[in-house]
Amino acid sequence: MRLEGKRALVTGGSRGIGAAIARRLAAEGADVAITYAASTDAAARVVADIEALGRKALAIAADNRDAAAIEAAVTQAAEAFGGTDILVNNAGIFIAAPIEDLSLEDWDATMAVNLRAPFVAVRAVLPHMGEGGRIIAIGSNLALQAPSPGLAAYNASKAGIAMLHQALSRDLAPRGITVNTVNPGSTDTDMNPASGPHAADQIARTSLGRFGTPDDIASAVAYLASPEARSITGTAILVDSGANA
């Protein structure tokens, strides 16, 4: 119960990595709000799981392409719980296409969801977060490499996420708030299943010879959110089965 009494907001917390993070933070004692874009049923299941652990839970519909919706969601979560101690910028999209086929709309959507939305969420949460606060972004090991063509928009957005949060760690250090990034590698979710058509190539690039799981990422986030990580800020942790080794 390292996070007992803490209040968390996880964006994109209705499925995959976000849902695993929400459940893990609750299991360690935190009350957890999540945002979701479309799946009301999936969000309700996460809420039910959190409440079954004896914690408070809240699901808020918010499109990460809409800055006003993000700001409203951050405020709603803080008002419901009386503040926010942990912000996890998890929501993201993946659009892959060679540059000649990558539209401006695809580029703008990727940047809006993957990079602009976390910036908006951080600005919105600061009035509700005090000393000891934790801000954690979910990036990607593709922030550090381009193993195949067609990843320009996604890679750029995830590299931006890591540097944004590294820079914010300097801005927020005087307030006693740590800011870090977790960079997953190939992780077994519905967006990128370990049994999918591209899985064999991804596994071949890892040194451990396996996909990660959402719980692997949630473990790293829970650690960074905990008191044990009080001296860790401005860094990015790779959880990628050795793909970037």
Q: Which residues are catalytic?
A: 154
Residue 184: helix, strand or coil by DSSP?
A: strand
Q: How far is CA 82 from the centre of its chain?
A: 22
Cα-Cα-Cα-Cα dihedral of 198, 201, 206, 211, to 10°? 20
Burial 87-102 (b: 16+ CB within 10 A, else e): bbbbbbbbbbbeeeeb
The single-letter code of the amino acid at 25 is L
- Output phi, psi for 86, to 5 deg: -135, 125
225 token code pair: 């959110």
Neighbouring CB atoms inside 10 A of 6's CB total: 25
Instruction: Give the closest residue to 117 by CA, choosing from 184, 185, 180, 68.
Output: 68
Residues contacting residue 41 through CB under 8 Å, at least 6 positions apart: none
